[in-house]
Amino acid sequence: MNRKVKVSVAIAGFFLFELMCVRPSCAAPPTDSCALVTPAQVSAVLGVTVGAGEHIIPSNATLCGFGSGGAAKHVVMAILKVTMFAGEKTPLKGIEEETANGIGDEAHYMTTPGFGTGLSVRKGNFAFKVRIYGFPIEQTKAKEKALALNVLAKL
């Protein structure tokens, strides 16, 4: 192949890549945890009506809580750094970890005594965690998966 053809192929490849990144999957990852799911989605999964999500730390948009006025059933959504997601895969004493197949590029449940179960999910360069409180563990896992799939549908 001569030099002109190689340059033309390289330029065409670059533009093809750029066109492919017009798709939503190449969009910037979300930065507001309260926008990952809607109150209606959370209400449907929990079986109780919740209001709008609220940033748990007002100056930090990566952590959001959805509740139903003091009820035990509530959700915490968190945006994670991908490095934090990767670090969670190192088992710690007393914490049970279980792979969650079929959710994003990779996902796992972490159960911590006294703190419950959370589902961490990575899709491309974006990672998040869903923690649901107020249900038995198997229901919690199913509900966390349902909310995670709602998040992934937006990405």
Give me the average pLDDT of each 10-residue run along the chain (155 residues): 32 33 61 97 95 95 89 92 91 90 96 93 97 95 98 95
CATH top-level class for 28-154?
Answer: alpha beta
pLDDT of residue 92: 86
For residues 52 and 42, what is the distance between their CA atoms, to the nearest angstrom? 10
pLDDT of residue 26: 60
pLDDT of residue 29: 86
| Contact predicate 80/127, CB 8 Å | yes
**What residues are paired with 72 via a beta bridge?**
none
pLDDT of residue 140: 97
How far from each other are the two terminal CA atoms of the chain, in whole angstroms?
Answer: 40
pLDDT of residue 22: 42
